[in-house]
Structure 1
Amino acid sequence: DPAKVPGAVARARGAVSGFLTARPGLVHHIPADAESRGRSWPSPRTWEMALRLLATGYATGAGREATAAALTGAVGDGAGIELLSYLEHLDLPDPERVLADPDAFALPERGDRQLAFLIAVVAAIQSDPTRPRWEAGWTVLAKAVDAGVPDVAARAATDLASMRRLDWPVPPGIDGFLDLLRMSGALPGSR
Structure 2
Amino acid sequence: MNDTYHHTLDALGLCITAGIPVILWGDPGEGKTSMIESATARGVHVETVILSQSEPSDLAGLPIVSPAGDVVLAPPIWARRLAEHDGPAICFFDEFSTATPALQAAALRVLTHREVGNLRLPRSVSFVAAANPVEVSAAGWDLAAPTSSRFVHLDFAMTAEVFTRGSVTGQWPALPGRELPADHTERVAQEMATVCGFLRARPNQLSVIPQDHALRSRAFPTPRTWQFAAELSALARAHDLPDEVTSMLVAGAIGDATAHEYLSWRTNLDLPDPAGLLDGSATIEFSGLRADRVFVVLQALVAALGDDPGPERWTTAVELCCQAAHQAGLDAAVPAVRALVAAERRPAGAPVPAAISIFAPALAEAGLL
Task: Tell me if both proteins adopt one fold, taking TM over 0.5 as the criterion.
Answer: yes
Is the Cα contact below 8 Å between 1:40 and 1:75 reproduced in 2?
Answer: yes
- Aligned with residue 267 of structure 2, among 63, 66, 88: 88
TM-superposed deviation, 1:7: 5.1
Question: Structure 1 110/156 Cα, relative in aligned 2: closer, same or farther at 3 Å?
Answer: same
Task: Give distance in 1, aligned partners of 2:295 and 2:281.
Answer: 16
TM-superposed deviation, 1:168: 3.4
Whether 1:115 and 2:295 are equivalent positions in the alignment is yes
> 1:1-80 to 2 correspondence within 5 Å?
2=181, 5=184, 8-80=187-259
Whether 1:171 and 2:353 are equivalent positions in the alignment is yes
Bigger helix fraction: 1
Q: Deviations over 1:21-68 (max 9, x none)?
A: 111111010010111111010001100101111221332323211111
Greater Cα shift, 119-128 or 21-30: 119-128
TM-superposed deviation, 1:161: 1.0
Greater Cα shift, 2-11 or 172-181: 2-11
Is the Cα contact below 8 Å between 1:53 and 1:71 reproduced in 2?
Answer: yes
Instruction: Name 2:366's counterpart in structure 1.
Output: 184
Greater Cα shift, 102-111 or 159-168: 102-111
Letter aligned with residue 183 of structure 1: E
> 1:139-150 to 2 correspondence within 5 Å?
139-150=319-330
Is the Cα contact below 8 Å between 1:17 and 1:116 reproduced in 2?
Answer: yes
Q: CA RMSD in A?
A: 2.2
Whether 1:124 and 2:304 are equivalent positions in the alignment is yes
- SS of the aligned residue for 1:34 comes to coil
Structure 1: tracts of 5 or more residues without a match: none
Q: Deviation above 6 Å: which 4+ runs of structure 1?
A: none
Greater Cα shift, 74-83 or 88-97: 88-97
Task: Give distance in 1, aligned partners of 2:328 and 2:266.
Answer: 25
TM-superposed deviation, 1:73: 0.7
Q: Which has the larger radius of gyration?
A: 2
- Aligned with residue 153 of structure 1, among 333, 336, 340: 333
- How many residue pairs get aligned? The number is 187
Task: Give distance in 1, aligned partners of 2:215 and 2:181.
Answer: 37
Letter aligned with residue 131 of structure 1: P
- SS of the aligned residue for 1:92 comes to coil
Seq. identity, % = 36
Greater Cα shift, 93-102 or 45-54: 93-102
Bigger strand fraction: 2
- SS of the aligned residue for 2:272 comes to coil
Is the Cα contact below 8 Å between 2:291 and 2:332 reproduced in 1?
Answer: yes
Letter aligned with residue 27 of structure 1: L
Task: Give distance in 2, aligned partners of 1:5 and 1:40.
Answer: 24
Task: Give distance in 2, aligned partners of 1:103 and 1:16.
Answer: 23
